[in-house]
């Protein structure tokens, strides 16, 4: 199972600690596999962009109006984290529902 996020993100570290046999992929350093960002956007839509982040607050109105996928490629830290890939099944965030589905409670 792969957890896509940032190595210094507390939520990503919590997920990594709770999910056995998982690997953290730092999206800032390593990027994301071809097609994963598109698949995540198709499934989660606007929820994929974290509009509460400091990165988002630092963007201009013109940048915020950009297409979500272009924004996420330019600013990986804008992605809501973690994005968890379990054999092609995607989960976004580390809430109670995700924890229950992945057995990380």
List, by residue number, the catalytic residues. Answer: 9
Q: What single-letter DSSP state applies at residue 10?
A: H
DSSP reduced 3-state for 3: strand
Segment (H or E) for 25:
strand 23-26
> Which stretch of DSSP H or E encloses residue 84?
strand 83-86
Burial letters for 94-103: b for 16+ Cβ neighbours within 10 Å, e otherwise? beeebbeebe
């Amino acid at each position: 199972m792969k957890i896509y996020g940032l190595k210094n993100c507390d939520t990503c570290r919590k997920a990594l600690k709770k999910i056995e046999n998982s690997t953290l992929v730092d999206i800032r350093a390593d990027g994301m596999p071809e097609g994963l960002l598109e698949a995540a956007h198709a499934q989660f839509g606007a929820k994929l962009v974290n509009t509460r982040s400091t990165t988002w607050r630092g963007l201009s109105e013109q940048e915020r109006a950009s297409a979500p996928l272009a924004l996420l490629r330019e600013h990986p830290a804008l992605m809501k984290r973690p994005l968890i890939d379990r054999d092609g099944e995607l989960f976004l965030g580390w809430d109670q529902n995700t924890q229950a589905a992945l057995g990380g409670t």
